[in-house]
Structures are given as C-alpha cells and as structure tokens.
Amino acid sequence: MKIFRVALLGLLVLLFCTPALAADVVKLGFFDMQTIIDRSEMGKEGAEKFRVEKEQVRQELASKLEEVKALDDEFKKKEHIWSLDVKKTKAQEIMAKKMEYDRLTYEAKRKLGQQEQDLLMPIRDKVLEIVNRIGKEEGFSMIWEMRRAGLAYAPDTLGLTDRIIRELNESAAKQETKSP
C-alpha cells in the first residue's frame, strides 16, 4: 500500500511538474501538522485542555473500576458462606457493574475523541489558512502535510513547519490583544 501511495505521489508530481517546468520553476513545500500542534501556543493550549479533561475521565473510570474490583473481592471472600441465591444475585450485580464500566469506557473514548477533534479543528483551519496564503503569495506549486501525504523524505529547505508555527503564534497573540 505504501509503495502504491509513493508511486501515485510520484506520478502526481510528474503530472504537475511537466507543464510547470516548461513555464516556471516548480516550488514545493511541506509541513508537519503534529509538530505544529505540539509546539504552537494554540496547540499547547488545546492539548492542556484536552489533558485536563482526559485526566478527569480517567479518574471517573478508575473509581468505577474500583467498585467492580471491590464487589469481585467481596464475592471471592464470601462465596463459600453465601447461599446459591445470594451468589447468583451478587454475580449478576458484578456482571452489571462490569457492563456499565465497559459502556462508560466506550463512551469516554468516543467523547474524548470528539473533544480532541473539536479542540484541534480551529488550529487545523488556521494552519490551512496560513498554508494557502503562503502557497499563493510565494508561488508554491504544491505544499504537502508530511504525515498524511506519506512523505518519507524531503530536504529541510522545503519545510514550512517552523514558519507556520511562528505565524500561528503571531496570529494568536494578535487575537489576544484584540480581546478585552
């Protein structure tokens, strides 16, 4: 699959480069979205909000898991003295708690995934805005997002990541000065 993607990428480059070579020099660039998220102020702020929410969810799930473990431990300690009806009731109670824990875990993962997307969307939108502006103003033929394009190698001279981070931070600083 990777070979196919690399071959397709190569063909696309050739397709777009052939006419461009006749008229102009081809200007290519790339950026790394994950690095931008990790190092920009907007990305750090979003990551911190997400970390706080994730920790809260982790604590809630840990308390639910403790409940399940406590019931399970009680069952193991007292099962030999309980009647068959009590054992059955306690086993059903444990099973219900385990199912509730599993359901809460699934919902938490879904909720956290959605929240991560919601926190990252404004950053991605702003990055794409910056990339489009750079591409148009400076005559880039193509600018790729490094990981999504499957870019295995590109010389650092084609990299725009640091510039995008700088412009994203400047944009965020301007927004902060406009806000009261």
pLDDT score recorded for residue 9: 57
The boundaries of the domain holding residue 10 are 2-178
What are the pLDDT digits (tens) for 9-34?
565 555 565 554 545 688 899 999 99
Per-residue pLDDT band for 171 (boundaries 50, 70, 90) equals: confident
Residue whose C-alpha is closest to residue 161's, from 134, 121, 122: 134
Strand, coil or helix: what is 145?
strand
Is residue 4 over pLDDT 60?
A: no
| CB hemisphere CA count around 154 (13 angstroms) | 22
Tokens of 167: 């412009």
88-147: per-residue pLDDT in tens?
998 999 999 999 999 999 999 999 999 988 988 999 999 999 999 999 999 998 998 988
Q: Determine the Cα–Cα distance for residues 137 and 45; give it in Å rounded to an integer.
A: 29
Check: CB of residue 151 under 8 Å from CB of residue 29: no
What pLDDT score does 79 carry?
86
150 φ/ψ sector (left φ>0, alpha ψ -120 to 50, else beta): left
* Closest to 70 (Cα-Cα) out of 97, 110, 106, 35: 97
What's the pTM value of the predicted model, to 2 decimals? 0.64
CA-CA distance, 62 to 9, in Å (whole number)? 46
Neighbours of 142 (CB within 10 A): 16
Look at the chain and report how many structural domains it folds into: 1
pLDDT band at 62 (very low <50, low <70, confident <90, very high): very high
